[in-house]
Amino acid sequence: MLRAAWQIAPSNQMAEQLQRLRDASPELIRTALLDEHRRWVGTPYVLGGEGFQGIDCSALVQRVFNEAFALPLPRTTDDQVLEGQRIDRDSLRAGDLVFFRPPGPYNHVGIYVGGGRFLHASSSQGVIISRLNNVYWQRYYWQARRPTTLTELAQRARQYRLSRAG
């Protein structure tokens, strides 16, 4: 039996909306992350810190994901590295977690924002965006993880933006 065009249109419209969301996902996520960077930039690094007076790398990641995406993540780097799916460095997309094993007792985590850069709480410079191909970070790169699908992250970013606007 043939369906009338008006019966098919809602499905087509929904498919088109989903495709537009998928296409916009990286930019929505990147924008949300850069908004969070503007809020946190210059906040000093403090081991165990969790706020604007001082924050460490894993607390920054936890706060950014909670505040920009309403997505809870564990508090520590050791627990965050168990989240989601491990991905290849060549597959990095905005919103992926990047992990490092620098010298010393602690691992380090940041959030990939695209363009070869990541947002993190640097022990020497506070909250900044750094290049992944920096000699230091390249040397100690460990792995990357995608805590949730990029489509879900973009939907969460969009919902958050709408809630703040209204």
Point out the residues that are catalytic. Answer: 57, 108, 120
Instruction: From 154, 147, 149, select the one nearest 86 (Cα to Cα).
Output: 147
Measured CA to CA, the distance from residue 92 to residue 89 in angstroms comes to 6
99, 106 contact by CB (below 8 A) = no
DSSP-assigned letter for residue 2 = P
